[in-house]
Chain A
Amino acid sequence: MGLATVEAQFHVLAVDDSLIDRKLIEMLLKKTSYQVTTVDSGSKALEFLGWNDENSNEAFFSPKTNQEVEVNLIITDYCMPGMTGYDLLKKIKESAVLRDIPVVIMSSENVPSRINRCLEEGADEFFLKPVRLADVNKLKPHIMKTKTKESQKPENQDDNDEENQESEENNNSTSNKQVEETQDQLQSESPSQQQQTASSNNNNSKRKSMDEGVSPDRTRPRYNNGLTVMSN
Chain B
Amino acid sequence: MERQAAYLRNALFDQGYLDEQFLQLEDLQDQANPHFVEEVVKLFYTDSVRLIQSIELTLKNTPRDFEKLDKIMHQFKGSTTSIGAKKVKKECTQFQEYCNVGNVEGCIREFQEVKQEHAALKRKLENYFQVFHVVHLAREAR
Interface residues, chain A, with chain B CB atoms under 8 Å away:
17-21, 23-24, 27-28, 31, 79, 108, 129-130, 132-133
From B28, B44, B79, contact of A31 by CB (8 A): B28
In angstroms, Cα B90 to Cα A179, docked, is 39
Is A20 touching B43 in the complex (CB atoms < 8 A)?
yes
Is A21 touching B82 in the complex (CB atoms < 8 A)?
yes
From B33, B47, B81, contact of A108 by CB (8 A): B81
Q: How far is the CB of B69 from chain A (nearest CB, A)?
A: 15
Is B24 touching A20 in the complex (CB atoms < 8 A)?
no
Contact (A130, B81) CB under 8 Å given A18-B75, A27-B36: yes
Is A20 touching B82 in the complex (CB atoms < 8 A)?
yes
Is A24 touching B74 in the complex (CB atoms < 8 A)?
no
Is A21 touching B78 in the complex (CB atoms < 8 A)?
yes
Q: How far is the CB of B86 from chain A (nearest CB, A)?
A: 12
In angstroms, Cα B39 to Cα A133, docked, is 19
Nearest-CB residue, chain B, relative to A18: B78
* A23 partner residues in chain B, CB cutoff 8 A: 39-40, 43
Total A-B pairs, Cβ < 8 A: 47
Is A19 touching B81 in the complex (CB atoms < 8 A)?
no
B 67-97 binary contact with A (CB < 8 Å = 1; else 0): 0000000110111011100000000000000
In angstroms, Cα B78 to Cα A35, docked, is 25
In angstroms, Cα B43 to Cα A132, docked, is 19
Nearest 3 interchain pairs by C-beta: A20-B79, A27-B28, A20-B82
In angstroms, Cα B81 to Cα A132, docked, is 12
* B27 partner residues in chain A, CB cutoff 8 A: 133
Nearest-CB residue, chain B, relative to A22: B43
Interface residues, chain B, with chain A CB atoms under 8 Å away:
21, 24-25, 27-28, 33, 36, 39-40, 43-44, 47, 74-75, 77-79, 81-83
Q: How far is the CB of B32 from chain A (nearest CB, A)?
A: 9
Q: How far is the CB of A87 from chain B (nearest CB, A)?
A: 17
Q: How far is the CB of A138 from chain B (nearest CB, A)?
A: 16
* A17 partner residues in chain B, CB cutoff 8 A: 75
* B36 partner residues in chain A, CB cutoff 8 A: 27
* A79 partner residues in chain B, CB cutoff 8 A: 74
Contact (A20, B28) CB under 8 Å given A27-B36, A129-B78, A130-B81: no
Q: How far is the CB of A136 from chain B (nearest CB, A)?
A: 11
Is A129 touching B43 in the complex (CB atoms < 8 A)?
no
Q: How far is the CB of A31 from chain B (nearest CB, A)?
A: 6
Would you give 29 A-B contacts (Cβ < 8 Å), ordered by A?
A: A18-B75, A18-B78, A18-B79, A19-B43, A19-B47, A20-B40, A20-B44, A20-B47, A20-B78, A20-B82, A20-B83, A21-B79, A23-B39, A23-B40, A23-B43, A24-B28, A27-B28, A27-B36, A28-B28, A31-B28, A108-B77, A108-B78, A108-B81, A129-B78, A129-B81, A130-B21, A130-B24, A130-B81, A130-B82
* B33 partner residues in chain A, CB cutoff 8 A: 27
Q: How far is the CB of B43 from chain A (nearest CB, A)?
A: 6
In angstroms, Cα B75 to Cα A108, docked, is 10
* A28 partner residues in chain B, CB cutoff 8 A: 28
Is A132 touching B24 in the complex (CB atoms < 8 A)?
yes
